[in-house]
C-alpha cells in the first residue's frame, strides 16, 4: 500500500473537502489494488484516510460509486498527461507525428513510473481488467479507446501504416505495455539491475529505452512501407 499519508496528497492549496475526497480516492485505490474490491470495507477506507465513514456516501454515493470514481480519477490523470502532448493530429508531417508520439507516450511512461501512487494505480487497473466488469467498460470508454485511437492515428502518419489495422493497434499497445510491465514488475526489475528501487533517474533510463524501441519500430515500419 502507498506509504504516503493520504491527507497530504491533495497539496496545501486544496480545501478541506477536496483534501478529504482526494484522501478517500487515493486510499481506496491503494486498498482495492492490494486486497480487492470485495475484501475492502468502507470502514477500513475511512479509517486509513482519516475520514468519517459517512463521507464516502456523501462524496461518492456508495462503495461502488467510490470504485468508479477511482477509475475515473486514474483515467483522467493518464489522459490529461498524454493530451498535453496531443493538441492536434491532423496535417502533420511524419517526423512531427513521431515526435508527438514520443512526447505523449514519454509523459505516460514517466507518470506510470514516478507518480507517488503509480504502483497502486497500475494494480487497480490490472484488477479491473481481470474482473472485466462495468468499471472496465468505463475505463475503456473514457480512457483507453479515445486515447489509443489518437495514438494509432499518429502512428499512421509517422509510419504510413493504416491507423486501425490490427498491427498498428498491437504495436501501440506494445509500447504502453512495456511501461506497465516495469511498474508492476519493479521488484524483479530492480533486483536484476541492482537498483534499490525505480526512482526518477531509473525511470528516465527506462523511458529512454522504451522510446528508443518505439523509434526503431517506426523506422522499421517506414522501411517496410517503402518496399
DSSP string of 165-224, one letter each residue? SHHHHHHHHHHHHHHHHHHHTHHHHHHHHT-SS--HHHHHHHHHHHHHHHHHHHHHHHHH
In angstroms, rounded to a whole number, what is the distance separating the alpha carbons of residues 191 and 198?
Answer: 10
- CA 6, 7, 13, 16 torsion-angle sign: positive
Q: How far apart are CA 227 and CA 220, in angstroms?
A: 11
How many independent structural domains does the chain possess? Answer: 2
Q: Give yes or no: residues 4 and 53 share one domain.
A: yes
55: confidence class by pLDDT, cuts 50, 70, 90: very high
Percentage above 70 pLDDT, the chain: 92
Give residue 14's pLDDT.
54
Q: And the C-alpha cell for 98?
A: 513521431
Cα(14)–Cα(9) distance, rounded to whole angstroms?
9
Q: Are residues 34 and 113 in the same domain?
A: no
Please give the residue range of the domain that contains residue 49: 1-61
Reported as a single tens digit per residue, the pLDDT across 87-123 is 666 678 999 999 999 988 888 888 888 888 888 988 8
The position carrying cell 506497465 is 180
204 and 112 housed in the same domain: yes
pTM for the model stands at 0.77
CATH number at residue 171: 1.10.357.10
Same domain for 133 and 110: yes
Whether 158 and 203 map to the same domain: the answer is yes
d(CA 225, CA 118): 37
Cα–Cα distance for residue pair 108/176, rounded to 1 Å: 8
- 42: CATH: 1.10.10.60
Do 57 and 105 fall within a single domain? no
pLDDT tens digits for 4-22?
A: 333 333 444 458 888 899 9
What are the tens digits of pLDDT across the range 133-166?
788 888 888 778 888 888 999 999 999 999 999 9
45 and 85 fall within a common domain: no
Mean pLDDT across the chain: 86
Coarse DSSP helix, strand, coil percentages of the chain, rounded to the nearest 5 percent: 75, 0, 25
Q: Give the Cα separation of 32 and 36 in Å (integer).
A: 5
Q: Are 210 and 109 in contact (CB under 8 A)?
A: yes
Q: In this structure, are 211 and 139 located in the same domain?
A: yes
Do 75 and 57 have their domain in common?
no
Amino acid at each position: 500500500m502507498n506509504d504516503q499519508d493520504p491527507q497530504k496528497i491533495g497539496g496545501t492549496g486544496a480545501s478541506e473537502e477536496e483534501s478529504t475526497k482526494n484522501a478517500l480516492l487515493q486510499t481506496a485505490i491503494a486498498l482495492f489494488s492490494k486486497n480487492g474490491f470485495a475484501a475492502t470495507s468502507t470502514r477500513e477506507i475511512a479509517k486509513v484516510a482519516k475520514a468519517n465513514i459517512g463521507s464516502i456516501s456523501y462524496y461518492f454515493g456508495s462503495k461502488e460509486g467510490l470504485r468508479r470514481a477511482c477509475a475515473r480519477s486514474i483515467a483522467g490523470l493518464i489522459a490529461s498527461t498524454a493530451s498535453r502532448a496531443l493538441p492536434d493530429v491532423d496535417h502533420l508531417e511524419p517526423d512531427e507525428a513521431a515526435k508527438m508520439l514520443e512526447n505523449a507516450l514519454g509523459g505516460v511512461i514517466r507518470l506510470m513510473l514516478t507518480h507517488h501512487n503509480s504502483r497502486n494505480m497500475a494494480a487497480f487497473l490490472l484488477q479491473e481488467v481481470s474482473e472485466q466488469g462495468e468499471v472496465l467498460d468505463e475505463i475503456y470508454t473514457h480512457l483507453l479507446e479515445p486515447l489509443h485511437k489518437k495514438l494509432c492515428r499518429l502512428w499512421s502518419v509517422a509510419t504510413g501504416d493504416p491507423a486501425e489495422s490490427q498491427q498498428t493497434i498491437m504495436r501501440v499497445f506494445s509500447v504502453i505495455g512495456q511501461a506497465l510491465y516495469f511498474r508492476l514488475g519493479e521488484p524483479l526489475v530492480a533486483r536484476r539491475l541492482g537498483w534499490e528501487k525505480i526512482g526518477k533517474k531509473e525511470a528516465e533510463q527506462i523511458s529512454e529505452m522504451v522510446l528508443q524501441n518505439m523509434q526503431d519500430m517506426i523506422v522499421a515500419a517506414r522501411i517496410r512501407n517503402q518496399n
